[in-house]
Amino acid sequence: MDQRRQETDPDGQEPRRRPWRRRRRAPNAAWGMALLRREVDRSRRHAHPLALVRLETRGPGGLERALRDLERGVRSIDAVWAESRAVLVLLAESDRASAGGFLARIRAAAPAAVELDSARVACFPEDALTAESLRLALERRDGRGAARPDRLPADGSAVLGQAE
């Protein structure tokens, strides 16, 4: 079945073919949790670190803009998905220091749609051992729980978890 549509040139000469374009749907929370479970299992099996970063978005249309900007800034083994008003980034094979480097790169690129001051990081195995507890560790780090938020200083100099 041909997925192309025939149209005529503006001058009416010969038909040209234009591919149909479907709008790509952004990965959602269910897709992200399934991927997170799979990556935590893989990290546990091979004793490799894993970092999960939560970035709040701002403004109308900020979620789509942040997804687009962050997808360009991650490695091929990383994943980005949307969840309510936040963007979650799964950094495979990354520890807390690597997550700090990622946040520094994002800060340098300065996407306007992301609130970098409210970035939260949870790492496997330091903060949690399962996908669900890793997600809960992100929620505990927002000031509602006992854990202090891990934040990158404005100058990007300190490693996450050691910043005041």
- pLDDT (tens digit per residue) in 123-153: 999 999 999 999 999 987 544 333 333 444 4
Longest pairwise C-alpha distance within the chain: 70
The pLDDT tens digits of the residues spanning 2-54 come to 444 455 555 666 555 555 444 455 678 899 999 999 999 999 999 999 999 99
Domains (ranges, CATH) in the chain? Answer: 29-144 (3.30.70.270)
120: left (phi over 0), alpha (psi -120 to 50) or beta: beta
